[in-house]
Amino acid sequence: MGKSSRLKMAKNTNIRISLPAVCFVWQIAMIILFGVFIRYDEESDTHWIEHRRKKNISTNLENDFYYRYPSFQDVHVMIFVGFGFLMTFLKRYSFGGVGFNFLIAAFGIQWALLMQGWFHHLDEHDWKIKIGVENLINADFCVASCLIAYGACLGKVSPVQLMVLTLFGVTLFAVEEYIILELLHAKDAGGSMVIHTFGAYYGLTISWVLYRPLLSQSKHLQGSVYHSDVFAMIGTLFLWMYWPSFNSAIADHGDGQHRAVINTYLALASSVLTTFAISSISQNNGKLDMVHIQNATLAGGVAMGTASEFMITPYGSLIVGFCSGIVSTFGYLFLTPFMEKTLKIQDTCGIHNLHAMPGVIGGIVGAITAASASESVYGQEGLINTFDFKDAVANRTVNIQGGYQAAALFVAIAFGLVGGALVGGILKLPIWGDPADVNCFDDDVYWEVIVFFFFLNELKKKEPANFTS
Amino acid sequence: MGKSSRLKMAKNTNIRISLPAVCFVWQIAMIILFGVFIRYDEESDTHWIEHRRKKNISTNLENDFYYRYPSFQDVHVMIFVGFGFLMTFLKRYSFGGVGFNFLIAAFGIQWALLMQGWFHHLDEHDWKIKIGVENLINADFCVASCLIAYGACLGKVSPVQLMVLTLFGVTLFAVEEYIILELLHAKDAGGSMVIHTFGAYYGLTISWVLYRPLLSQSKHLQGSVYHSDVFAMIGTLFLWMYWPSFNSAIADHGDGQHRAVINTYLALASSVLTTFAISSISQNNGKLDMVHIQNATLAGGVAMGTASEFMITPYGSLIVGFCSGIVSTFGYLFLTPFMEKTLKIQDTCGIHNLHAMPGVIGGIVGAITAASASESVYGQEGLINTFDFKDAVANRTVNIQGGYQAAALFVAIAFGLVGGALVGGILKLPIWGDPADVNCFDDDVYWEVIVFFFFLNELKKKEPANFTS
Amino acid sequence: MGKSSRLKMAKNTNIRISLPAVCFVWQIAMIILFGVFIRYDEESDTHWIEHRRKKNISTNLENDFYYRYPSFQDVHVMIFVGFGFLMTFLKRYSFGGVGFNFLIAAFGIQWALLMQGWFHHLDEHDWKIKIGVENLINADFCVASCLIAYGACLGKVSPVQLMVLTLFGVTLFAVEEYIILELLHAKDAGGSMVIHTFGAYYGLTISWVLYRPLLSQSKHLQGSVYHSDVFAMIGTLFLWMYWPSFNSAIADHGDGQHRAVINTYLALASSVLTTFAISSISQNNGKLDMVHIQNATLAGGVAMGTASEFMITPYGSLIVGFCSGIVSTFGYLFLTPFMEKTLKIQDTCGIHNLHAMPGVIGGIVGAITAASASESVYGQEGLINTFDFKDAVANRTVNIQGGYQAAALFVAIAFGLVGGALVGGILKLPIWGDPADVNCFDDDVYWEVIVFFFFLNELKKKEPANFTS
């Protein structure tokens, strides 16, 4: 125990000043900035009734709330329970997985409302940001990219570092999103590029900068136990089930949302089967690996993010899921070990396999599908509506749109890599209370944990005779 | 250990070829068949805007998506988290419970879209199946019957067998559903007959064919531990809470969906109380049994499946829940042991008590309620709308409808029994990699499981002095 | 073991007669009362189609079902999974936490439909209560107050006592709600006062009456283990995520629901950050305490209950969450121990910190926000709509409204205190089968629990050599 204690002392993981300071100061900053900038939009303001009359809107149901609220709640569950519980799989880092996910998401959504508001929704007349349910969805989306990045760093960073990662992550996201959606006018309803590709490369680069050569010292904690794997399945399933809502939440009213749901539903189903297949084929006796089932089954949802609104056809969706399930599972089998050994990238949750590669696939699929869109398939109006070919881009052709989609993918990757290197450098400063290599993946560093009191107590109470029952 | 190893060797549970082969080949077949047959319907196609204009539909909200999507997502949660987690109750088969449920549901929904499409939605002009959100709900419904059947076989079959069970189960379901809903024109919005009765008898007959005389060899694994019972409660509660959505998901727009929710909500509440009552009265000191609470509390939802749309009245719903909770709990107490001993039916999850009996009750309740419907209660138009007395059945009376409802129940049972015997025979072939009797209920056969590494490690690390804390 | 056995004998916890009797008799009473009083309303009755024509309603979507059903399902999840799993945190009382929550909620919603119906929805013509989806939401709300009260008594009462607590709790709730909403015409969409303040003081007073001086005898069970804390996080997160639905479920159609969601979303996010801050600052090395994270993060939702519909502004919501997170966490740190020691109130879940104080904050915030409402902010129509200034209260000013809001808060507290004292006295009778002090927090008293069979078995099976792996 002596050696372990000394190593524990080697790094100062005391966050009693830094964490409360960051939480308080940033939250107060949020209050001030919200006071200056954020207001209700015309659909959530009491003047809605006058707005309705002016615009001749016949029913309250036309309030965007009723189009989007069910999807919003599903996305909300994905962010907090989906991502949170997916990260409980480590045997002694379940508190950190679900708890820090909770903390940074709660901060990130506030900061995202501001950042995205400034870039996309700033009212030119009064310089206010007017928010409604669509802004809440977009804020959840934005935070998702930071939670993905957290996946690469899980167990190796302090909550203060995570707050910093989120602060910059949301900022970078808003700029990248502005370039991709507004300047390039690319489509990305479910965020294959904007959310997944960016988030994954952002996290992987940070993890690369923060490389820990002696991480094997905490190897005994870098795995799951039986019940932690079942907890993680809660996260997997809520992500999997609600992914159709994720990819359709901000799609066009009517057929847009409807089609995005069908495409995503099918892609996800398909990737489950290929994940099981590759997982089984790779092990003795065909035994399945929970890591694959928990993660690669979701690849279809990631890869369907960009094209979900398009007329990719139902069998096209199945093919996307088919391929991404295979690629993702192979990633867990071969790429993750290779990256750790050769590229010095330690990727705790394997986000490269679940988000980076399927995200890139999604971007490419989106570019190809857009480039091959035609009036004969979409209808004249349908084509214009789906790609928003109006105003400044009224004359854009589908081929050019395909090119812009491809460009958008590179923007997402570039923002991830450059942003990650930058933020990684900041996080390397020795002031954030990160754990020593030997203390990684251990909740005991940042949480009050009563280890095994109960189990030992129960064992103690039993009389020897009972052991044979 | 020697004897155990020998027994383990006795059966070849290697699925390294068969499982990947089944997953790949069937998924590729799905892609081809989807390519040939499946297209978006007019509400999920980009031509929706033209369709709207042609049909003079004033708002996007009239897209069926907005009527049914929230219910669809609830049903989706029931299928994957509800059924999945309900089957995690076994102490060492939680991976198999939730994991294989995931696999076969993901396959089944694809196959169901095709099978149900061919029978119900084939466009006569172009021989395509046009899908929308209602098809997704129906596919989930169809798969539910196979997941119910899985409940009887839990822990005793290989994933390859489960895929076969699902392939034939979905096929049988589509035929049975066609006969009941189209030919007999019976009503069954929540599927008491079509889903629950059929699924349960299908699974029970399979289990009877696959009878394992030496199953007691794995008796030490055929139970729960404390936390696996809490995991199972996640499944129970998500099934219980969302059952009103299940029974209303494809009910008529407007009052139909509304009434189905109220009836199901009440029946479920009532069966909780009688389940607790019977569970308590049956044990020393009135101690409750988690098996009853996890299962019989749901009986009210099953039994309200057929009549949920009808004017059964709120107190009628309470009575249905009251009776089915009692019947179901008594089933767990007396019928399951009797069936195992005398009828040689080993029913791991007790689906006879949760699905078969309440399903039959539901069918009977539906027949009686239909036969006693009247214009004075329903209103003239209401009666026609509720029972769809138009076109070919425009002159049907409620008495005759009651008769057809009863006939439908027999069709469901017959399909379950005959289909189960057939499929059971196929599954008996010694090629599917099923476990030996001694290895049943053990995840170790099909999953990479690291047993107890952590717990032992922790124990090891503790110094003796700490044991007394 | 001898002494423990003797203590166990000291109290009769046999509920084999009483629990089934209560469940059966009360459920039968429900059926009879429902038969006499409860009918479908015009939106869930088959006459809806005639009602539509008469009222010239253009679409089925105007059925209230489509406005409120998604929110209803979210609230339903909060009641059964949210409250249920939040109470699984105790190491050996997870069955009781989630199971008894299930039982009393299932009974309570039935009784609430009657009680609230008699007070609010009794049809003057035929003396029937006509129910629809809004009644279901209100029944869930009503039950929430009893589940809050359960939180104070968790582990220390028998299920029979809980049924009595719920019977009277629902009754008191309906009266209190009638006074506050109808007589005082106060607004309380999310129930800061009606639900949280009343429920908390009701439970705390009961716990005070049932004070157990020797509760420390079961101290070894009055805490969590690692995985029970993760289970509790399921409850926390589902409460947190769906709280916007809770506060908006019965708000006005259109901007009312929309605004309530935004306000609650923001208040909750804000209270997460201050909870983490105070939790960290209060412990050595800044280690976080799971009790705080599981509970105080929700304070923002409670405190936003009354003002959620008002134009409190987005930054106003952040401030409310900011303060209530701090107050709630300080409560766990200092008030709970003080209350137990000095005031003799044993509050298992700390409901005083999560519901009483934030509820009172919510009531005060509501009163102030109402009193400071103005036509310039709300618009003339908006002000009337938001506060329902019509009919009998058409001439009420916002200042007077503020006064009535404050009066409502006192009514809620008074009903909690007086009702709790009364019901506490009833529950003190020695006939309810409550556990002895030494047997508190132990599922073994009311549940069939197989303790540790599996773990010991596994240990036994291992050969010594394996222990060193």
8 A C-beta contact, residue A305 and residue A191: yes
Give residue-wise pLDDT tens across range A346-403: 999 999 999 999 999 999 999 999 999 999 999 999 999 999 999 889 999 999 999 9
Residue from B370, B385, B331 nearest B192 by CA? B370
Helices (H), ranges, A310-464: 314-330, 336-338, 351, 357-371, 375-378, 380-387, 398-427, 453-461
Weakest-pLDDT range from A218-227, C18-27, C170-179: A218-227
Give residue-wise pLDDT tens across range A382-394: 999 999 999 889 9
Give residue-wise pLDDT tens across range C214-229: 999 998 899 999 999 9
Mean model confidence pLDDT for chain B = 93
Residue from A137, A209, A202, A158 nearest A445 by CA? A158
> What would the mean pLDDT of A120-143 be, rounded to a whole number?
95
Within the 387-426 window of chain A, which residues sit less than 8 Å (CB to CB) from chain C? none
Contacts of B387 (CB under 8 A, 6+ apart): B187, B370, B373, B396, B398, B401
Residue B311 has pLDDT above 50, yes or no: yes
Report phi then psi at C2, rounded to 5: -60, -45
**Distance separating alpha carbons of residues A99 and A90, to the nearest angstrom:** 13
Q: Is A332 on the interface with B (CB under 8 A)?
A: no
For the CA atoms of A133, A135, A140, A145, the dihedral, rounded to the nearest 10 degrees, stands at 160
Within the 436-455 window of chain C, which residues sit less than 8 Å (CB to CB) from chain A? 451-453, 455
**Distance separating alpha carbons of residues B135 and B42, to the nearest angstrom:** 13
Q: Is C220 on the interface with B (CB under 8 A)?
A: no
What residues of C are in contact with residue A34 (Cβ under 8 Å)?
Answer: 266, 314-315, 318
8 A C-beta contact, residue C328 and residue C307: no
Weakest-pLDDT range from A17-26, A240-249, A385-394, C242-251: A385-394
**Distance separating alpha carbons of residues C421 and B30, to the nearest angstrom:** 65
| Residue A53 pLDDT level (bands cut at 50, 70, 90) | very high
Q: List chains adjacent to chain C, taking adjacency as at least 3 C-beta pairs closer than 8 Å.
A: A, B
C460 to A451: CB separation less than 8 angstroms, yes or no: no
What residues of A are in contact with residue C262 (Cβ under 8 Å)?
Answer: 40, 44, 131-133, 136
Q: Around B390, how many Cα atoms within 13 Å sit in the side-chain half-sphere?
A: 8
- What residue type is B354 in one-letter code? L
| Residue C4 pLDDT level (bands cut at 50, 70, 90) | very low
Give residue-wise pLDDT tens across range C123-160: 999 999 999 999 999 999 999 999 999 999 999 999 99
Q: Is B232 on the interface with C (CB under 8 A)?
A: no
Contacts of C265 (CB under 8 A, 6+ apart): A109, A136, C244
- What residue type is C304 in one-letter code? M
Nearest CA in chain A to C320: A31
What pLDDT sits at residue A267?
98
C286 to A15: CB separation less than 8 angstroms, yes or no: yes
3-state secondary structure at position A290: helix
Q: Is C74 on the interface with A (CB under 8 A)?
A: yes
8 A C-beta contact, residue A320 and residue A303: yes
Residue A243 has pLDDT above 90, yes or no: yes
Residue from C303, C304, C277, C319 nearest A33 by CA? C319
What pLDDT sits at residue A10?
66
Complex ipTM value: 0.94
Weakest-pLDDT range from A456-465, C5-14, C436-445: A456-465
A72, A318, A322: best mutation site toward chain B, by most B Cβ within 10 Å? Answer: A318
Q: Is C277 on the interface with A (CB under 8 A)?
A: yes
C453 to B225: CB separation less than 8 angstroms, yes or no: yes
Within the 136-165 window of chain A, which residues sit less than 8 Å (CB to CB) from chain C? 136, 159
What pLDDT sits at residue C463?
39
DSSP A324-365: HHHHHHHIIIIIHHHIIIII----TT-HIIIIIHHHHHHHHH
* Residue C269 C-alpha, separation from nearest chain A C-alpha, in angstroms: 5
Residue A461 has pLDDT above 90, yes or no: no
What pLDDT sits at residue B11?
84
- What residue type is B212 in one-letter code? R
Residue B28 has pLDDT above 80, yes or no: yes
- Using CA atoms, how far residue A189 sits from A139, A167, A195, A303, in Å, is 14, 23, 10, 12
Q: What is the number of other CB atoms lying within 10 angstroms of the CB of residue A375?
A: 12
| Residue A172 pLDDT level (bands cut at 50, 70, 90) | very high
Weakest-pLDDT range from A121-130, B134-143, B350-359: A121-130
Contacts of B464 (CB under 8 A, 6+ apart): none
Q: Around B148, how many Cα atoms within 13 Å sit in the side-chain half-sphere?
A: 37
Give residue-wise pLDDT tens across range A87-108: 999 999 999 999 999 999 999 9
**Distance separating alpha carbons of residues B117 and B38, to the nearest angstrom:** 8
What pLDDT sits at residue A314?
98
B453 to A225: CB separation less than 8 angstroms, yes or no: yes
What pLDDT sits at residue C469?
30
Give residue-wise pLDDT tens across range B316-330: 999 999 999 999 999
**Distance separating alpha carbons of residues C315 and B4, to the nearest angstrom:** 66
- Using CA atoms, how far residue A17 sits from A22, B41, B121, C287, C332, in Å, is 9, 59, 64, 11, 20
Report phi then psi at B349, rounded to 5: -95, 0
Residue C213 has pLDDT above 90, yes or no: yes
Chains B & C: contacts with CB separation below 8 Å = 243
What percent of chain A has a predicted confidence (pLDDT) above 70? 94
A283 to B61: CB separation less than 8 angstroms, yes or no: no
Of A1, A253, A314, the CB nearest to B38: A314
SS3 sequence of chain C: CHHHHHHHHHCCCCCCCHHHHHHHHHHHHHHHHHHHHEEECCCCCCCHHHHHHHHCCCCHHHCHHHHHHHHHHHHHHHHHHHHHHHCCCCCCCHHHHHHHHHHHHHHHHHHHHHHHHHHHHECCCCCCEEECHHHHHHHHHHHHHHHHHHHHHCCCCCHHHHHHHHHHHHHHHHHHHHHHHHHCCCCCCCCHHHHHHHHHHHHHHHHHHCCCCCHHHHHHHCCCCHHHHHHHHHHHHHHHHHHHHHHHCCCCCCHHHHHHHHHHHHHHHHHHHHHHHHHHHCCHHHCECHHHHHHHHHHHHHHCCCHHHCCCCHHHHHHHHHHHHHHHHHHHHHHHHHHHHHHCCCCCCCHHHHHHHHHHHHHHHHHHHHHCCCHHHHCHHHHHHHHCCCHHHCCCCHHHHHHHHHHHHHHHHHHHHHHHHHHHHHHCCCCCCCCCHHHCCCHHHCECCCCCHHHHHHHHHCCHHHHHC
CB crowding B410-424: b at 16 or more within 10 Å, else e: ebbbebbbebbebbb
**A91 secondary structure, DSSP code:** T
List beta partners, residue B122.
B129
Sign of torsion, CA B89 B90 B91 B93? negative
- Using CA atoms, how far residue A250 sits from A139, A147, A244, A402, B319, in Å, is 12, 20, 11, 21, 44
> What would the mean pLDDT of B340-357 be, rounded to a whole number?
96
Find the largest Cα–Cα distance for chain B.
84
* Residue C37 C-alpha, separation from nearest chain A C-alpha, in angstroms: 32
What pLDDT sits at residue B274?
98
* Residue B338 C-alpha, separation from nearest chain C C-alpha, in angstroms: 21
Find how far residue B75's CA is from the centre of its chain.
Answer: 11
Report phi then psi at C288, rounded to 5: -85, 150
Sign of torsion, CA B94 B97 B100 B106? negative
List beta partners, residue C38.
C129
Residue B466 has pLDDT above 50, yes or no: no
> What would the mean pLDDT of B370-382 be, rounded to a whole number?
95
Report phi then psi at B130, rounded to 5: -100, 120
The first and second tokens of residue A31, run together, are 């209050």
| Residue A454 pLDDT level (bands cut at 50, 70, 90) | very low
Which of the listed ranges B165-169, B219-223, C281-285 does the model predict with the highest average pLDDT? B165-169
| Residue B450 pLDDT level (bands cut at 50, 70, 90) | confident
> What would the mean pLDDT of B68-73 be, rounded to a whole number?
96
The first and second tokens of residue C48, run together, are 């809806």
What pLDDT sits at residue C450?
74
Q: Is B135 on the interface with C (CB under 8 A)?
A: no
Q: Around C352, how many Cα atoms within 13 Å sit in the side-chain half-sphere?
A: 23
Residue A68 has pLDDT above 60, yes or no: yes
What pLDDT sits at residue A32?
98
Give residue-wise pLDDT tens across range A244-257: 999 999 999 999 99
